[in-house]
Amino acid sequence: MEKIEYDAVIIGGGLAGLMSAHEIASAGYKVALISKVFPTRSHSAAAEGGIAAYIPGNSDPNDNPDYMTYDTVKGGDYLVDQDAAELLSNRSGEIVMLLERWGALFNRQPDGRIAVRYFGGQTYPRTRFVGDKTGMALLHTLFERVSGLNVDFYNEWFALDLVTEDKRVAGIVAMQMKTMTPFFFKTKAVVIASGGMGMLYRHTTNSYINTGDGFGIALRAGAALKDPEFVQFHPTALYPSDILISEAARGEGAILKNNKGERFMAKYAPKKLDLAPRDIVSRAIITEIREGRGFPGGYVALDLTHLGEEYIKERLALAYEAAKNFAGVDAITEPIPVRPAQHYYMGGIDVDIKGRNPDIVGLFSAGEAACVSVHGANRLGSNSLLDTLVFGQETGRAVVEFLNSSPHEPTSNFEKEAEKIVDDAYKFVKSESGVHFGEILEKLRDVMWDYVGIFRDEGGLLNALSEISKLRGMISSMYVSDKSKVYNTEFFNALELRNMLDLATVIAKAALDRKESRGAHYRTDYPDRDDNNWLKHTIAYLRGNTVEITYKPVKITRWKPEPRVY
C-alpha cells in the first residue's frame, strides 16, 4: 500500500476542518486535508441564517458576552459546559472579524460596519449574516484562504479508519475515490471534522453526504462519544425535500395548520402558539400527523397567504424561493407543506475545550463531529457556525502545541494494520450475492425516525436496539454489485452505512439509558427534567456489540440550573 507522511491529517473540509488546517499550516507543519467532497461542497455551505457574535462597539450597547453565554446555557437546558460556552462567547467577535478581514462579504450597516439581526433565544440581537447564505459565504472565504497556504488537499478521498498504537494515533487509511487506491497516511495527529449525521434519519435538513463517518471511525478506534442521545429536530422542513424553512417565517406571522384548517398550536402552546420552542412545535406537528390530521404523505401546512405578496417577498424571500423552487408551491397563494426533520447533532466525539480526545493521544475533533460541549441538550440557532470556527481554531492550536512537544514517533508495524483495514472494508462487501446497502439503509432510517426520533419511550428504544442490531448483523453479508474500479460510489455508500449503524447503536442505547426529558431528548415515559439524577454527560464506548456507558459531570461556572420556561 502506498504510504505518505504528514505532521497532521484532518478529516473534513467544512468550516471546522479548514480552520484547523489553517492554524496548523500557519505554524509551519505539514498538513493533509482529506475530504470526500471538494471542500466547498461540504454541508457548511447550506447554513442560512447566520453566525452569532458579540462585537465590542458593534453590538447592542446593553449586550455583553455574559448574556450570550447565559442564552447558550439556558438554550442547551443546562447540559452545556459553561467554561466552553464562555470561551465561545468571548471569542465570537474576534473570529467573525477575522473572517471579515479574509474577505467574507457580511451584510453592512449604512456606515459600512457589519450588520446584525435577531435569532431565536437571544436576549439581544447578535447574529451576523451574508444574505441568506451565510454558510456558503464563510465556507468559500475560508476555503479560498486555506487553498493559498501550504496544505495538501485530498479531495474526493474517503477516510476509512484510524490506525493506533498503544492508544496513540499512528495514522489513517483513506482511499482515493476516482482510482479506488488506498493510502496509509502516517501521522502523529488526526483531527476529525467530518460533520453531522442527518442521513441516519428518514427526514433530515442535512446534505446527502452527512453520514456520520467520523463517529464510526472514532468508535471503532476506541474513542468515546459524549451525549450521543441528543439529536435536534427542526419543526419546519419543506415537504418532501426537507429543505429548511427558517424560523423567521413563523416569526413574521406564518401559521401552522392541520388538514382541517385548524391552528393546532393553540392546543399545545396556548401562549406562544407557533413560536413555541423548536422541540415543542416538532412534537405538536408529529402528534397531528400521527392522529390523522396531517396531509397525505405526512405533513402540515405553513400558511403565509394572509401576509400578502409584498410582505412575503420582502421579508421572507428565502422561504418563498425555496417553496417555489423545491416544492413547486407559490407561498403567496398556497400554504407551504412542512414537517419536522432531523437538523443537528449535539452529541459527538468526546473532546475537551481544546478539541483533545482523552482516550487516544493525538486524536482531536472539531465542529459538528465533536462534542465540546457548547450546545448541551439543544443548540441555539447561529451558534453552530461559530462553534466550527472558534473550536476549529482552538483545536488547530492544540495540535500545534501537541506537535511542538511530542517527540514520539509512531513505529509499529502499521503496514499490516493498514492492510487489514482495507481488507475489512472489502470483506464485508465481498460476497457474490446478498443484500444491497439500500435495503438496510432505508430500514435504518425508518427505525431511527420512528423510535429514536422526536418522541422516545422504553418500548420503542428497546425495539430500535434490536432492529439496529439485526441490521448490523446483515451488513456482514452485504454485497456490492458494482465491480467498477473507478469512483465506485456503491462501495463508499456501503462503508457509510457501516458507520451509520455503529453510531445508531450508540444513540439508541444512550437514549434508552437517559430516563428523563431534557432539551431535544424527550421521553414520553419520563416527561420531566431530572437534575438530581441526570445533570451529567453521557460517555459512550462501542465494544463489539455492546455499548459501554459512563457519566461525566457538567462543568458549571456561574449559571445554576433553573426551570427552562419561555
Ligand X SMILES: Cc1cc2nc3c(=O)[nH]c(=O)nc-3n(C[C@H](O)[C@H](O)[C@H](O)COP(=O)(O)OP(=O)(O)OC[C@H]3O[C@@H](n4cnc5c(N)ncnc54)[C@H](O)[C@@H]3O)c2cc1C
Binding positions for ligand X, rule: CB under 6 A? 11-17, 34-37, 39, 42-44, 46-51, 134-135, 158-159, 193-196, 205-206, 209-210, 213-214, 244, 343-344, 367-369, 382-385, 388
Quote helix, strand, coil % in the chain, to nearest 5: 40, 20, 40
Whole-angstrom distance, CA of residue 540 vs CA of residue 194: 19
Q: Which amino acid is at 393?
A: Q
Site for other proteins contains 212 (CB under 8 A): no
Residue 110 contacts other proteins per CB under 8 A: yes
The correct pick among 16, 37, 217, 366 for binding other proteins (CB under 8 A) is 37
Which CB, 45 or 301, lies closer to ligand X? 45
* Cα–Cα dist 233/57, whole Å: 35
Asked if 482 touches other proteins (CB under 8 A), the answer is yes
Residues 164-193 within binding reach of other proteins (CB under 8 A): 178
Q: Does 108 bind other proteins (CB under 8 A)?
A: yes
Interacting partner of 111 out of other proteins, ligand X, none (Cβ under 5 to 8 A depending on kind): other proteins
Q: Which is nearer to ligand X, 159 or 512 (CB)?
A: 159
Nearer to other proteins, 309 or 562 (CB): 309
CA 366, 368, 369, 374 torsion-angle sign: positive
| Contacted entry of other proteins, ligand X, none for residue 120, CB cut-off 5 to 8 Å set by kind | none
Within 33-173, where are the H helices?
65-75, 82-101, 134-146
Starting at the edge strand that comes first in sequence, how are the strands of the sheet with 225-226 ordered?
370-371, 348-350, 225-226, 536-543, 546-553
CB of 512 to other proteins, least distance (A): 28
SS3 for 140-187, per residue?
HHHHHHHCCCCEEEEECEEEEEEEEECCEEEEEEEEECCCCEEEEEEC
Cβ 562 to other proteins shortest distance, Å: 37
Distance CA 31, CA 4 (A): 11
Query: Least separation, in Å, of the C-beta of 358 and other proteins?
Result: 32
Residue closer to ligand X (CB basis): 299 or 344: 344
* Strands of the sheet with 189-192, listed across from one edge: 151-155, 31-35, 8-11, 189-192, 363-365
Cell of 26: 500557519
Distance in angstroms (rounded) separating the CA atoms of residues 297 and 283: 18
Segment 415 to 444, residues that bind other proteins, using CB under 8 A: 436-438, 441-442
Where are the strands (E) in 327-380, listed by range?
Answer: 336-345, 348-350, 363-365, 370-371
Q: Is 106 in the site for other proteins (CB under 8 A)?
A: yes
Closest distance to ligand X from the beta carbon of 259 (Å):
26
The yes or no reply on residue 328 touching other proteins (CB under 8 A) is yes
Count of other CB atoms within 10 angstroms of residue 485: 9
Identified catalytic residue from 278, 283, 356, 523: 278
322 is a site residue for other proteins (CB under 8 A): yes
- Asked if 102 touches other proteins (CB under 8 A), the answer is yes
C-alpha gyration radius of the chain = 23
> Would residue 278 show up in a list of annotated catalytic residues for this protein?
yes
Distance of closest approach, residue 229 Cβ to ligand X, in angstroms: 18
Binders in 43-72 for other proteins, by CB under 8 A: 43, 45-46
Residue 34 host element (H or E): strand 31-35
**Residue 477 binds to other proteins (criterion: CB under 8 A):** no
Is 490 near other proteins (CB under 8 A)? yes
What minimum distance in Å lies between the beta carbon of 509 and ligand X? 23
Window 225-244: residues binding other proteins (CB under 8 A): 239-244
424 or 516: CB nearest ligand X: 424
* Residue 489, contacted partner among ligand X, other proteins, none, CB below 5-8 A by kind: other proteins
The closest alpha carbon to 105, from 58, 56, 132, 138, belongs to: 138
| Residues in CB range of 320: below 8 A, 6 or more apart | 304, 312, 313, 331, 332
Task: Transcribe 444-472 into DSSP letters.
Answer: HHHHHHHHSSSSB-HHHHHHHHHHHHHHH
- What is the nearest approach in angstroms of other proteins to the Cβ of residue 492? 10
**List 88, 175, 200, 209, residue binding other proteins (CB under 8 A):** 209
Q: How many angstroms separate the CA atoms of 244 and 257, rounded? A: 18
Output 43 or 250, the one with its CB closest to other proteins.
Answer: 43
Catalytic positions:
278
